[in-house]
Amino acid sequence: MILPSVVDAIGNTPLVELSRLTAHLGLDGRILAKLDYLNPGFSKKDRAAKVIIETALADGTLAPGQTVVELTSGNMGTGLAIVCGVLGHPFVAVMSAGNSVERARMMRALGAEVVIVPQAPGGVAGQVSGADLALVEARAQEITTQRDAFRADQFGHPGNPIAHEVGTAPEIWAQSNGAVTSFCDFAGSGGTLGGAARYFAQQGVRSYAVEPAGAQAIAGDRTDHPDHPIQGGGYMMADLAHLRDVPLAGHLSVSGDEAKSHTRLLARFEGIFGGYSSGANLCAATALLRGPDRGGCIAIVICDSGLKYLSTDLWEI
């Protein structure tokens, strides 16, 4: 089948059983990995980018040829760069200097204008805090006003969770033949978790939020360690719009070291080259199989590609 554009290649990614890893770790149960790093922009955020832009064009909030602006850690920006480029919209990505350089280079290669915002005082390269994100948000708002642009607003636009409620989760359910008992996901904007949890709740599947240890704002727990290396989330935002009234079975925390080690396990035993948040999801899934979901079938998302972290310490092996 020949597709009309690369935008039509977004979604319908493979679901792979991590049987080698579960055997290596001695786990009682199954882990299924949704390979969203195989999307055109190498991340799950391609789905939300597509739905947000298509919805905005359909309802008239985005005019033909209008500039699109969004704050991003790099993945949503990459997805928007692809979708906007194909549909004829200039795109401005606003991101923190704390994010990996590969992401900015990829967005520029795809035709985006990338605005880098310096980190807050005391910020650490490779670690983006809530304070850093607040500075990026302020700059994004400023540029949106200056250019009379459309703000994609991944933290607020309903197209973000809808992309996963009608895409990611139903795909997992169908591909697993209804075998999934639990789903867990590292929370950034909350779009994947919120949308998937709404769908899975109708199937009797439990959903869990994953956060960095010491930055557990959604869980209402420890928030004394904002300087974690898991890019794309863990911003210590307790009130995420996409998680309001979402049925969650619980919360799981993962340290930066645990995320790193499990990302490397994915590559070594399963040949899956994911990023930090993919390792966090795997670590959380193993905790479920060792605890409340022993003997169950856990679904996770491989959120983005390890190629986006070559300048970080993730692959200093």
Provide the annotated active-site residues: 45, 277
Q: Any idea what the Cα angle at residue 183 is, between residues 180 and 189, rounded to 5°? A: 150
With contact defined as beta carbons under 8 Å apart, do 71 and 160 qualify? Answer: no
- Tell me the angle at which helices 256-270 and 276-290 cross, rounded to the nearest 10 degrees: 90
Distance (Å, rounded) from C-alpha 150 to C-alpha 167? Answer: 24
- Going by the DSSP 8-state scheme, the letter that residue 38 receives in this structure is G
Tokens standing for residue 83: 């979708």
Q: Directed axis angle between helix 75-87 and helix 45-59, to 10°?
A: 40
Give how far the C-alpha of residue 79 lies from the chain's centroid of Cα atoms, to the nearest Å. 11
The residues, any chain, with a CB within 8 Å of residue 117's CB and separated by 6 or more, are 94, 95, 96, 97, 132, 135, 136, 139
Owner of token pair 């990611």:
168
How many C-beta atoms surround the C-beta of residue 15 within 10 A? 16
- Backbone φ and ψ of 34, nearest 5°: -85, 115
